[in-house]
């Protein structure tokens, strides 16, 4: 049987893909490769990108990943077997791992979370919040939290793609990260930013007991000086530092560290989490917490 031009060129095509710096590709990147190498591989002008991808999927190690997010589904391709963490980072180049995923990567939990949290910051800054009063705080935290529905399940994992406020990657670092299945070089919130994020959204970190455990395990390494500096730059409309102070005190942080948080204004009562029904009041931090917590 006479071989087609693409079959004849297969060895050269495979060699080229083997040499690529990144094993994760988008449709447009594969199209660019085809356009650049078409003449060298002597492929017919009628061979379009979809046909090229179909041939590689059937005759090489090109694999297709479909991320069926409710808001803007994404498709990408990998050259061979690539860890899910690496695929996700290439899927959203500006993204970084956060919340429970970052907790796991920093060794701040004894659990093995099955959810993966990837945050992509919004392109435009969040408008400056107006001064908020006690009644507004009470009403906001009496309701269940708003949880992202931009989530889908893949290979036994629940993937959350979160839209974060623009922080210019405050506290985001690049390091080797591990989710219990693979180790890759990735972008992740550092220790202090992670503690802030999970205090703000404990429902993305396994709940308040898991957040408390994270503060406990972070105690030997966490810098409260750095954390407070971050809080000032993030400029939350809610007194998040009061919840952080409670977690830190509960975890046995030094009094000198707690004093850094106590120096921040405490003008309103605050809540450790949303929709709590049975609570106790911690006067020192002006904070409502679950009863017995």
| pLDDT tens figures, 109-130 | 999 899 999 999 988 876 665 6
**Cα separation, 186 vs 176, whole angstroms:** 6
Cβ-based burial of 115 (10 A; exposed 0-12, middle 13-18, buried ≥19): middle
Question: Residue 118 CB: number of other CB atoms within 10 A?
Answer: 22
**Cα separation, 107 vs 194, whole angstroms:** 12
| pLDDT above 80 for 148 | yes
Q: What does the pLDDT read at residue 117?
A: 96
Q: What is the pTM of this model?
A: 0.92
Q: Where are the alpha helices (DSSP H) in 108-254?
A: 134-142, 191-200, 208-218, 224-234, 240-250
Q: Which of 44-58, 110-124, 176-190, 233-247 has the lowest mean pLDDT?
A: 176-190
CB neighbour list of residue 14: distance below 8 Å, 6 or more residues apart: 60
**Cα separation, 208 vs 32, whole angstroms:** 48
* DSSP 3-state of 265: coil
Assign 180 a pLDDT band (cuts: 50, 70, 90): confident
Beta bridge partners of 162: 119
Assign 285 a pLDDT band (cuts: 50, 70, 90): very high
Mean pLDDT of 32-47: 95
| pLDDT above 80 for 269 | yes
Assign 222 a pLDDT band (cuts: 50, 70, 90): very high
Q: Give CA 19 to chain center in angstroms.
A: 29
Beta bridge partners of 270: 287
**Cα separation, 234 vs 273, whole angstroms:** 19
């Amino acid at each position: 049987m006479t071989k087609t031009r693409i079959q004849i060129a297969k060895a050269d095509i495979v060699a080229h893909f083997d040499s690529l710096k990144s094993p994760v590709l988008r449709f447009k990147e594969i199209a660019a490769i085809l356009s650049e190498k078409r003449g060298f591989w002597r492929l017919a002008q009628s061979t379009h990108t979809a046909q090229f991808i179909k041939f590689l999927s059937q005759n090489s190690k090109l694999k297709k990943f479909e991320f069926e997010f409710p808001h803007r589904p994404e498709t990408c391709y990998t050259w061979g077997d690539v860890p899910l963490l690496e695929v996700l980072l290439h899927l959203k180049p500006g993204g970084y791992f956060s919340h429970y995923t970052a907790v796991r990567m920093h060794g701040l939990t004894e659990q093995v979370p099955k959810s993966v949290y990837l945050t992509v910051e919004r392109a435009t800054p969040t408008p400056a919040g107006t001064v908020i009063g006690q009644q507004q705080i009470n009403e906001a935290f009496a309701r269940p939290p708003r949880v992202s529905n931009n989530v889908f399940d893949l290979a036994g994992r629940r993937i959350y793609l979160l839209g974060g406020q623009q922080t210019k990657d405050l506290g985001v670092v690049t390091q080797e990260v591990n989710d219990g299945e693979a180790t890759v070089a990735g972008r992740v919130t550092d220790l202090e930013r992670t503690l802030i994020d999970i205090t703000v959204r404990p429902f993305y970190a396994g709940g308040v007991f898991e957040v408390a455990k994270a503060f406990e395990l972070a105690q030997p390494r966490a810098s409260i000086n750095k954390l407070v500096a971050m809080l000032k730059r993030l400029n939350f409309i809610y007194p998040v530092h009061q919840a952080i102070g409670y977690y830190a005190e509960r975890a046995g942080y030094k009094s000198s560290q707690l004093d850094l948080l106590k120096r921040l204004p405490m003008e309103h009562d605050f809540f450790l989490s949303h929709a709590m029904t049975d609570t106790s009041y911690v006067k020192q931090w002006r904070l409502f917490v679950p009863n017995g917590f």
